[in-house]
Amino acid sequence: MPRLFPLLLLCLTLLLAACKKDSAEPEPPLEGAWLKVEDVKSIYDPTGKLLDTYTSPNLEGFTWEFTSTSHQLFFTYRGQYTPAGPPLTFKRVGNKLMHDQNGEVAQILTLTQHQLVLFYEKQFPDANGNRTDWRLTFSR
């Protein structure tokens, strides 16, 4: 019995050391320049029925530039034939980006060092009440 106690203590020590949590990788920064790779819009009628889907590549070379201060995030977009527009401000809450000017909310589906995917769900109603899901994919 006295020999069993040190063996039990050794097993308990190994078990506790093996269960130590790994340190989580920090999330890459949203700030920086992102090249728009793809733009997918899905149109739904007021009942939620899918009417059409449009996929467009980035023919003009649109770039979105994200910058931040301690209180706000800003983004400016520009293309080969489009001058930079005025910076738009938004707040980031978790995986959501809330635009200050128009109240639109984008969900961050993917944020890695080299890919960003934003998703706007059923916003932008038209005159007929149709709404659009909008998924934007970026790389850097």
| CATH code given to domain 29-139 | 2.40.128.20
3-class SS at 80? coil
Contact 75, 64 (CB under 8 A): yes
Q: Where are the domains of the chain?
A: 29-139
Q: What is the pLDDT of residue 130?
A: 92
- Tell me: the pLDDT tens digits for 29-54? 888 888 888 889 999 999 999 999 99
Which amino acid, 69? T
The two structure tokens encoding residue 35: 């090249």
The pLDDT of residue 113 is 92
Beta bridge partners of 115: 139
Q: In the numeric block, which tokens belong to residue 123?
A: 């916003």
pTM above 0.85, yes or no: no
Q: Across residues 11-36, what is the average pLDDT?
A: 70
Please give the DSSP secondary-structure letter assigned to residue 6: H
Report the pLDDT value the prediction gives residue 23, as an integer from 0 to 100. 60
State the sign of the Cα–Cα–Cα–Cα dihedral 106, 112, 113, 114: negative
The span from the first CA to the last CA of the chain, in angstroms, equals 63
At 51-81, the pLDDT tens digits run: 999 998 766 667 777 777 666 666 666 666 5
Q: pLDDT tens-digit profile of 80-136?
A: 656 666 677 778 888 888 877 777 788 999 999 999 999 988 766 788 989 989 898
* HSE value, Cβ hemisphere, 13 Å, CA-based, for 114: 0
pLDDT of residue 82: 61
Higher-pLDDT residue of 12, 88: 88
Residue 96: closest CA among 105, 88, 104, 87: 105
> Residues 136, 31: contact at Cβ < 8 Å?
no
